[in-house]
Structure 1
């Protein structure tokens, strides 16, 4: 720890009451941002719900049915209203997340050294990007695949069979797609979490390699818990998890190499600074 870093932390230290006031300010900004985003999403809740139904229409088309006749129902008078509230909360959290993450960073940044802030900031940017990648994968691929799988179980009612049609409830469909989005979004945070742990020395690339077999088993167990009970969504979540685990190993190795280079450079600088002190005194002229 250099003297400049110590001085920086001492200058940023503040009494407890100032920390509490800072925390209150950050909470007000976070809650206020979420509330504004919630009101915005609630105003457009029906349009957002129609947007989320588009993958269902794609699945209907894949199943050879008419996508213009997609129908969802609600069986309680208040069900669709509460569904819109859940959707507004979901959309509000997604929209307000950059603001909330920024407030969290501003609260903890004064307690970090300059190099720690520089290391933490890229992960703060990468986290929402990876979440959006996971959510996009759900919207454009896995939700249509899951709904197509369920649609194939319908019966037309011919040849003495009972007609069985899929009529999803609005609340259940929203719960399904929200569960998938959150599951994939959280799984896509794996490289961020492992990279941060490797950065602070809590995890190494060799430890990740040694636990690879266990990670594969855990990936399938987590996929079975977080996704609906169909093989497509479970395999669809487990395989990206395993791929992200391998990416985490590569990222951890890159971080370790970077830290080794920084350590070597720091030792070289310290050696140059100590060299004049360690050099022998010049011989006095006779």
Structure 2
């Protein structure tokens, strides 16, 4: 009995040591990614701000401003941290998988392993869709309220702030990245037998309402961003149902 208890303690101790080591590995990799990102922060900033610069190209001074003394510095830090998080996220997923995988059955490994690649791919797809399709339309819509070049007595002039612009872009990026995980969740639930394509079709109306509600909550309060997120997610939902039917047939 004592020997068994000691073995259990040793087993738990080994797991805790392994967990600690993997957390340290990730932390070191994250720090390296942060400093690496900060070295190229101006290039990253140029990439992130390219859409707004193009949208305000009609202005003589198409620029972004900062009104606080340290605002630009902290904006660069924020951008570097977010970039480091994106760079190190695949390494984090690998560390989690390496820690959990030994305790899984082969059948469970086969189910989970494809999602290790599917999750980041869908997140990146969400960001690409946002950056190249939604943001240009949304920014053009917002900048249309700028009347600084008109001859009216009352004029509105847009001067985007660095911190506010980065925060808005990051919120949208995470919103679209998370929303594009819907197919991943549907595939997993279908494979596990928790839901079926028939159930998904029956609940379509409710899902569409929920998608619009969630889009309104996680995006800025403008109709362009909300529709820009909701419509592709609805399309993805329909595609997911179609692909789920294929998985269900293959499973049978």
Q: Same fold (TM over 0.5)?
A: yes
* Structure 1 residue 173 corresponds to structure 2 residue 169: no
1:69 aligns to what SS in structure 2? Answer: coil
Aligned to 1:205: 197
More displaced 10-residue stretch of structure 1: 152-161 or 251-260: 152-161
Q: Distance in 2 between matches of 1:129 and 1:157?
A: 43
Aligned to 2:38: 42
Aligned to 1:125: 117
Give ranges in structure 1 of 5+ residues lacking alignment.
1-13, 261-286
Question: How many residues are matched?
Answer: 243
More displaced 10-residue stretch of structure 1: 135-144 or 213-222: 135-144
Q: CA RMSD in A?
A: 1.7
* Structure 1 residue 112 corresponds to structure 2 residue 108: no
Residue correspondence of structure 1 range 109-258 to structure 2 within 5 A: 109-156=101-148, 158-258=150-250
Aligned to 1:71: 63
Aligned to 2:3: none
* Structure 1 residue 57 corresponds to structure 2 residue 81: no
Using the size of structure 1 for normalisation, the TM-score is 0.80
Q: CA deviation at 1:255?
A: 2.3
Structure 1 residues 144 and 157: alpha-carbon distance in aligned structure 2, compared to 1, 3 A threshold: closer
Q: Distance in 2 between matches of 1:69 and 1:90?
A: 28
Q: Is the 8 A contact 2:37 2:84 kept in 1?
A: yes
Q: CA deviation at 1:159?
A: 4.7
| Aligned with 1:31 (options 27, 36, 45) | 27
Give ranges in structure 2 of 5+ residues lacking alignment.
1-9
Using the size of structure 2 for normalisation, the TM-score is 0.90
Q: Is the 8 A contact 1:198 1:256 kept in 2?
A: yes
Q: Distance in 2 between matches of 1:158 and 1:258?
A: 63
Q: Distance in 2 between matches of 1:160 and 1:255?
A: 61
Aligned to 1:276: none
* Structure 1 residue 81 corresponds to structure 2 residue 73: yes
Q: Distance in 2 between matches of 1:71 and 1:197?
A: 47
Aligned to 1:267: none
Q: Deviations over 1:39-83 (max 9, x none)?
A: 11122222211111111123235xxx15x7321111111111111
More displaced 10-residue stretch of structure 1: 215-224 or 111-120: 111-120
Structure label with greater radius of gyration: 1
Structure 1 residues 143 and 76: alpha-carbon distance in aligned structure 2, compared to 1, 3 A threshold: same
Q: Distance in 2 between matches of 1:128 and 1:244?
A: 16
